[in-house]
């Protein structure tokens, strides 16, 4: 008997019995001629089984495929596609290949092989949620893969022979989807990525102060002391810093125009550290307001400059007119 594979079979209800044609069918023939045109038989492209001389000592079951209304081609039932004439289709379902005389009875039949295949498939669904797949071999056996555990995904085993449940092996993602710091790559950002303007507040990036992706002193919480020994104009790096004005004679601190993009609320502390008096003035279009005056009162006096808008600052502290 031929090895029984697993492929689609054809069926048709109420087939009409037929008979072998005028020629004897030997035990090795792969072409079967019928006495009359088939009626109610499967006539598609899938194979089916027939029986010849049923209920006699010469009973034989054969796997065939429809060729014409009066001709069938014997095919190998273990094949799964591309059926061609093959003597392995003779003597199926616990019968053996025989010689049959002209006029022998022939009709389609459902075999024990097909019933066993269906029972094999059904029997493998033993657990709720399981998956059944075709195993290796000829014929391959149906195999059950029980339902996996939470967070598992369906993958292929290491031998690439069957499906298997697995974690996402190469992503280094834990069950809680938290990526450990040790799994993160180090080094510079790719050239395609830029850091938009931002401020760092309590380790959170908020709108607006990283120029060209560079973190400069105004963005850092640590205080900065800058020494000045002559008149100067404030620069953006001076925001939130202390200016130590250290000159023996008078000097001028100029508050710049809006072209220097201090944020509103930016503070610059001024210390009259040297003997020379410090005077604060606004550049063109900038007004510096003060309750007492725009000069630091004496050596070691201190005051704060606070930006209110692009055209207005306030000087508050130990000042005089």
* HSE (side-chain half, CA atoms, 13 Å) at 286: 25
Find all residues with CB under 8 Å of 101, minimum gap 6, and list them.
Answer: 20, 24
| Domain locations along the chain | 1-151, 218-320
In the β-sheet with 60-68, what is the strand arrangement from edge to edge?
Answer: 18-19, 105-108, 48-52, 60-68, 71-74, 31-33
Sequence-distant (6+) residues with CB within 8 A of 263 are 208, 209, 239, 307
Contacts of 154 (CB under 8 A, 6+ apart): 131, 148, 163, 164, 165, 166
Q: Are 1 and 111 in contact (CB under 8 A)?
A: no
**pLDDT for position 231:** 97
Q: Are strands 131-137 and 60-68 parallel, antiparallel or unpaired?
A: unpaired
Task: Give pLDDT, residue 200.
Answer: 44
Q: How far apart are CA 283 and CA 42, in angstroms?
A: 99
204-226: b (≥16 Cβ within 10 Å) or e: eeeeebbeeeeeeebbeeeeeee
pLDDT reported for residue 141: 80
CATH number of 218-320: 2.60.120
- The pLDDT value recorded for residue 132 is 87
With a cut of 50, list the residues of the chain below it in pLDDT: 1-4, 171, 195, 197-201, 203, 207, 209-211
The pTM score is 0.47
In degrees to the nearest 10, what's the CA dihedral of 76, 82, 85, 91?
10
Task: For 308, list phi and psi in degrees, rounded to 5.
Answer: -100, -40
Distance CA 86, CA 185 (A): 60
Residue count (the chain): 321
Q: How many CB atoms lie within 10 A of CB 60?
A: 23
Residue 10 φ then ψ, to 5°: -100, 145
Q: Residue 319's closest CA among 286, 283, 277?
A: 277
Quick one: pLDDT at residue 182?
67
Residue of 204, 205, 196, 242 whose CA lies nearest to 222: 242
């Amino acid at each position: 008997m031929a090895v029984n594979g697993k492929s689609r079979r054809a069926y048709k209800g109420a087939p009409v019995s037929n008979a072998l044609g005028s020629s004897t069918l030997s035990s090795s023939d792969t072409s079967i001629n019928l006495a009359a045109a088939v009626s109610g038989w499967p006539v598609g492209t899938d194979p089916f089984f027939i029986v010849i001389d049923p209920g006699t000592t010469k009973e034989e079951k054969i796997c065939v495929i429809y060729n014409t209304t009066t001709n069938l081609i014997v095919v190998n039932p273990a094949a799964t596609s591309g059926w061609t004439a093959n003597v392995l289709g003779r003597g199926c379902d616990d019968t053996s290949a025989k010689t049959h005389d002209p006029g022998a009875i022939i009709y389609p039949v459902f075999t024990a092989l097909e019933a066993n295949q269906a029972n094999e498939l059904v029997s493998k669904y033993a657990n709720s949620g399981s998956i059944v797949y075709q195993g290796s071999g000829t014929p391959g056996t149906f195999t059950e893969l029980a339902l996996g555990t939470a967070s598992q995904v369906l993958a292929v085993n290491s031998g690439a022979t069957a499906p298997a449940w697995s974690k996402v092996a190469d992503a280094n993602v834990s069950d809680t989807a938290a990526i450990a710091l040790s799994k993160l790559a180090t080094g510079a950002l790719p050239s395609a990525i830029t850091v938009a303007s931002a401020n760092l507040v309590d380790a959170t990036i908020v709108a607006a102060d990283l120029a060209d992706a560079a973190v400069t002193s105004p963005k850092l919480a640590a205080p900065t002391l800058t020494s000045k020994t002559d008149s100067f104009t404030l620069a953006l790096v001076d925001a939130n810093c202390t200016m130590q004005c250290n000159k023996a004679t008078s000097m001028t601190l100029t508050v710049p125009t809006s072209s220097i993009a201090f944020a509103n609320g930016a503070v610059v502390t001024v210390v009259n550290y040297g003997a020379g008096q410090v005077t604060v003035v606004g550049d063109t279009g900038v007004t510096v307001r003060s309750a007492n005056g725009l000069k630091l009162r004496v050596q070691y006096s201190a005051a704060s400059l606070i930006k209110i808008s692009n055209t207005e600052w306030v000087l508050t502290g130990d000042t005089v007119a």
